[in-house]
Chains A and B, each alone.
Chain A
Amino acid sequence: MAVHKRSYRSYAGGFTPAWSRFTIITRYAFKNLFRSRLLTAYFVCCFFYPLGCAVALYVNHNLSLLSALNVRQVFAVDAGFFLSFLGVQSGFAFILTAIVGPGLVSPDLANNALPLYLARPFSRAEYVLGKMAILLWLLSLITWIPGLILFLIESSLSGAGWAWANIGLAWGIFIGCGIEILVFSLLSLAISAWIKRKLAAGAALLGVFFFGSGLAQVINAVLETKNGYLIDLGNLLTTVEGSLFGHSNVVGISASSAWIALVAACVFCIALLERKVRAYEVVVG
């Protein structure tokens, strides 16, 4: 039928699989996101450090260059190397989350668009998953994916023996980044769902981390305890990642406590989203 024909007609064509519908939101959001040159430039910058690390790994194994410099090996590629890599990339990931995250749900709430999404064969869970997938992709591209590429580069340069001996590092990179991405994503979505103004939502995300850290210090100092760290998300992530790489904790709380606190934070964020991501608010009474 011609595009310009002006009459109503029902649709008789095929449908896309229901499971894939959440990707539609992700696709449209990506199109919108990368219209911003600033964001695109920042996203490119996020790859500089992994690129530098890849070059460093190559130089580390370039015998002719090393002998010319009269050094046997510049640095050891071990848990510390990957942990510091994750530390740097986590910083980039957090800033990226602070830029992208607040604009995910809040515009839909501000424009009252949720009834339109949810009046279709599209659930609230799919909506949240679609929005979360944006951050999952972006953060994955700058954290565990380059981390595993570095691991593969080192494996190819050092041989299969090194890879088998250090396979735990690969899991550490994947799981450590995974929990970090999950916490960042859920937290930014929850804040975005509750604070309609994008700027305020961004500030609130920074506040949760920095204010949480400060409050943790105050609680620890006043109550003479270490439990204050349980509300310091940054330290919780550091503790969990450290435990995955076999490093002893540095802030005084156990890895299991940190895991539980992070899971609790995720559940709390999901509860916040469950309450807010609705077509219409139900007023009881």
Chain B
Amino acid sequence: MSGRTIGLLGPNGAGKSTLINTLLGFYRPIAGTARVFGHDIRTETRQIRALTGYMPESDCFIASMTAVNFIRMMAELSGLPSDAALERAHEALFYVGLGEARYRRLGTYSLGMKQLAKLAQAIAHGPKLVVLDEPTNGLDPPARQRMIRLIREMRDGGEVSILISSHLLRDVEETCEEVLILKEGRQVHYANLEEERRANRRFLELETVGGDNGFADAVTELGCECALTSAHRMKMVLPESFAIRELYRLAGERNIQIRRLSYRRDSLEDIFLKAMESTNGRP
């Protein structure tokens, strides 16, 4: 997979966290292998971990430490010299919005702040890959929005790849370019959301008033695939670089009103449900 942000989707128990833990070398694969930035997860765990920042799903911190000390220690353990680790700990805490609370003990943080502190420790050492396991777990809507915004900012900055595991489709839809759907420990679907979105823009549903007058044939001549679902309704697949205004021009020439023109909206939820249904009959 080559996307900058990859979403791992699946119902509870699908194996999302297990996959992450295996990629990080916490679990040894029973069979097969995988590569992260070209490093084999069986033999080059240390190299993979050096390039990775990990935000676990559960509460993980040392309650008695201040946020800045904790993140500094974690950055040092990733190999940063002490001074650089301190500087980056401050930066990471400001970046996630905990700058004012950075000298507070982690044990006194609210759930939302703990999630942000976990994100800060995952990015403090400037990894090439950030693995976020259920990053919006337990967050209220404003805190969730903040987390999503941070993930998008990191994605758009282009310096880091992000792997997000979540059972919240909306989170993944808002942040990811590619999606891997898992069920019962198996990959059941892969979708490139960007391509899906582009493809969806090529599927049109049209409702017209005023007779056919060769409209469907004219549209077909312009390279569109066209199917009439009823006398006034048609579905069409547009060729690349087709301008919608051409449809209006053709309709105008034939005194036809276009009453409704809608793009197919195949949301991630549709993709997810299809993937779940397609495997239901499998033994």
Whether B52 lies near A119 (C-beta < 8 A) is yes
Say which residue of B56, B62, B79, B125 sits within 8 Å of A107 (CB atoms): B62
| A282 proximity list for chain B (CB < 8 A) | 27
Min distance, Cβ B269 to any Cβ of chain A, angstroms: 30
The residues of A that contact B159 with a CB separation of less than 8 Å are 8-10
A67 within 8 Å of B (CB atoms): no
A-B interface pairs (CB < 8 A), number: 120
A13 partner, pick from B21, B26, B80, beta carbons under 8 A: B80
Q: State the CA gap A14–B63 with chains docked (Å).
A: 30
B residues with CB within 8 A of A = 21, 24, 26-27, 46-47, 49-50, 52-54, 56, 58-64, 69, 73-74, 76-81, 84, 87-88, 90-91, 94-95, 99, 121, 123, 125-128, 153-154, 157, 159-160
Q: Does chain B have a CB within 8 A of A223? A: no
Contact B99 A4 (CB under 8 A): yes
Which residues on the A side are within 8 Å of B24 (C-beta)? 119, 279
Let me know if A75 is at the binding interface, CB within 8 A. no
Complex Cα–Cα for A279 and B131 (A): 15
Return chain B residues, CB-CB under 8 Å to A3.
87, 90-91, 94
Residue of B nearest to A28 (CB): B73
User: What CA separation (Å) do A15 and B157 show in the bound complex?
Assistant: 24
Given A13-B81, A15-B80, A16-B76, A111–B61 Cβ distance below 8 Å? yes
- State whether A121 and B128 are in contact (beta carbons under 8 Å apart), knowing that A111-B62, A113-B62 are contacts in the complex: no
Contact of B81 among A12, A16, A107 (CB under 8 A): A16
> Which residues of A in the span 221-273 have a Cβ within 8 Å of any Cβ on B?
none
B273–chain A nearest beta-carbon distance, Å: 30
Judged by a CB distance under 8 angstroms, whether A115 is at the interface is yes
Of B49, B76, B88, most A-chain CB atoms within 10 Å: B76
> A24 at the A/B interface (Cβ < 8 Å)?
yes
Main SS class of interface, A: loop
| Contact among B63, B77, B121, B160 for A24, CB-based, below 8 A | B77
Contact residues in B for A37 (Cβ distance below 8 Å): none
Beyond A10-B126, A10-B160, A112-B60, 11 additional pairs, beta carbon < 8 A: A3-B87, A3-B90, A3-B91, A3-B94, A10-B159, A21-B79, A108-B62, A119-B49, A120-B125, A279-B24, A282-B27
Partner of B128, one of A10, A108, A112, A119: A10
The reply to whether the CB of A197 lies closer than 8 angstroms to some CB of chain B is: no
Judge if A118 is at the interface, Cβ distance under 8 Å. Answer: yes
Closest residue of B by beta carbon distance from A114: B60
How distant is the Cα of A149 from the Cα of B13 in the complex, in angstroms?
60
Across the interface, B54 reaches (CB within 8 A) one of A8, A112, A119, namely A119
A34 to B1, CA, bound (A): 49
Contact residue range for chain A?
35 or more
The complex places the Cα of A5 from the Cα of B91 at a distance, in Å, of 7
A107 with B64: CB separation less than 8 A: yes
Query: What's the Cα separation between A10 and B74 when bound, in Å?
Result: 16
B81: chain A residues within 8 A (beta carbon)? 13-16
- With contacts A28-B73, A111-B63, A119-B49 taken as known, whether A11 is within 8 angstroms of B80 at the C-beta atoms is yes
Cβ of A122 under 8 Å from chain B: yes
A18 within 8 A of B: yes
Query: A72 contacts which chain B residues (CB < 8 A)?
Result: none
Nearest CB in chain B to that of A13: its residue: B84
Q: Which of B21, B77, B154 contacts A21 (CB 8 A)?
A: B77
Q: With the chains together, A111 CA to B87 CA distance in Å?
A: 25
30 pairs, CB–CB < 8 Å, chain A vs chain B: A3-B91, A7-B157, A11-B84, A11-B125, A11-B126, A13-B81, A13-B84, A16-B81, A21-B79, A24-B73, A25-B73, A28-B73, A32-B64, A108-B62, A111-B60, A113-B60, A113-B61, A113-B62, A115-B56, A117-B77, A118-B26, A119-B53, A119-B54, A120-B49, A120-B50, A121-B47, A121-B50, A121-B78, A122-B78, A123-B46
Q: Are A24 and B54 neighbours in the complex by a CB distance under 8 Å? A: no
Closest chain B residue to A5, Cβ basis: B91
- Asked if B60 and A280 sit within 8 Å, CB to CB, the answer is no
Report the separation of the CA atoms of residues A146 and B154 in the bound assembly, to the nearest whole angstrom: 54
Closest 9 CB pairs of A and B: A11-B126, A15-B79, A119-B54, A10-B126, A279-B26, A121-B50, A120-B77, A121-B46, A24-B76
Given known A11-B125, A24-B77, contact A115–B54 (CB-CB < 8 A): yes
Residue of B47, B53, B94 near A4 (CB, 8 A) is B94
* Residue numbers in B under 8 Å from A21 (CB-CB): 76-77, 79
Q: How far is the CA of A192 from the CA of B122 in the complex (A)?
A: 27
Complex Cα–Cα for A113 and B77 (A): 13
Q: How near does chain B come to A5, taking the closest CB pair, in angstroms?
A: 7
In chain A, positions 110-158 with a C-beta closer than 8 Å to chain B are 111-113, 115-123
A8 to B124, CA, bound (A): 9
Question: Cβ of A111: which chain B residues have Cβ within 8 Å of it?
Answer: 59-63
Q: List the A side residues contacting B157 at CB < 8 Å.
A: 7-9
Q: Which residues from B are CB-within-8-Å of A123?
A: 46
Is the beta-carbon distance between B91 and A121 smaller than 8 angstroms? no
Evaluate contact between A8 and B77: CB separation under 8 angstroms: no
